[in-house]
Amino acid sequence: MAEKKKAPEFLTYKGRPLVRNGNTIYYGNMTDDFVIMMQIGASKEFGDLDLASKVSIQLINTDPDVSIKEKIVKSSEKKGLYAAMDIADIWLTRALKGGDEEE
Q: How many CA atoms lie within 13 A of 90 on its CB side?
A: 10
Determine the straight-line distance between the first and last CA of the chain, rounded to whole angstroms: 55
pLDDT at 103: 46
pLDDT at 29 over 90: yes
pLDDT at 68: 86
- Enter the pTM of the model: 0.80
pLDDT at 81 over 70: yes
pLDDT at 34: 95
pLDDT at 26 over 70: yes
Give 38's strand partners.
25, 57
Q: Which helix H or strand E contains 40, and what residues bound it?
A: strand 34-46
pLDDT at 1 over 60: no
pLDDT at 17 over 70: yes
